[in-house]
């Protein structure tokens, strides 16, 4: 299971969040306030996910993305979806051992997911659950 500090690290760590985030409650509290826009940049850079693709996954149209960049803050709902991506990406990093491998795995079609791209499934909670299940199977050595 991925820890709150791992999620915070994926979101850019203390540099982006401006405070040490050590518990899930702290992550939730930060998301409820709206994460800084640069947290999305941090996730994209860490896992090699193009910003436009990441924006689509968290439900940000191009015009809204530009507005959020100017405002320098994501809404609470967008922040929650970004935290979901960071949590699953951190879990993939934990299982696959590097952010680069995790990023590649998240962006390639996966046979165990019926050919779906794991990152695209993170648009919904049920999709994220499917991806988590596959990561647990990989971690336990079950053919996936």
Query: pLDDT by residue (tens digit) across 4-38?
Result: 989 999 999 888 777 787 789 989 988 999 999 99
What does the longest C-alpha to C-alpha distance in the chain come to? 45
Question: How many other β-carbons are positioned within 10 Å of the β-carbon of residue 7?
Answer: 23
Using only the alpha carbons of the chain, give its radius of gyration.
Answer: 14
Q: What's residue 22's pLDDT?
A: 79
pTM: 0.90
Mean pLDDT across the chain: 92
Q: What's residue 96's pLDDT?
A: 94
Give the pair of three-digit tokens for residue 97. 């051992």
How far apart (Å, rounded) are the C-alpha atoms in residues 52 and 99? 19
Q: Domain limits of the chain?
A: 4-139
Give the pair of three-digit tokens for residue 125. 């909670």
Q: Read off the pLDDT band of 143 (50, 70, 90).
A: low
Query: Residue 120 burial (CB < 10 Å; 0-12/13-18/19+)?
Result: middle
């Amino acid at each position: 299971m991925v820890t709150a500090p791992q999620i915070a690290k994926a979101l850019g760590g203390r540099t982006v969040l401006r405070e040490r985030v050590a518990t899930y409650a702290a992550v939730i509290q930060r998301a409820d306030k709206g994460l800084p826009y640069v947290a999305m940049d941090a996730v994209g850079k860490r896992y090699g996910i193009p910003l436009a693709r990441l924006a689509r996954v968290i439900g940000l149209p191009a015009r809204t993305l530009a507005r959020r960049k100017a405002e320098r803050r994501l809404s609470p709902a967008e922040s929650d979806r970004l935290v979901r991506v960071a949590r699953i990406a951190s879990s993939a990093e934990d299982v696959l051992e590097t952010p680069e491998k995790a990023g590649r795995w998240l962006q390639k079609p996966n046979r165990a997911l019926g050919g779906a791209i794991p990152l695209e499934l993170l648009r919904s909670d049920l999709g994220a659950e499917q991806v988590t299940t596959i990561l647990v199977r990989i971690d336990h050595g079950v053919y996936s």
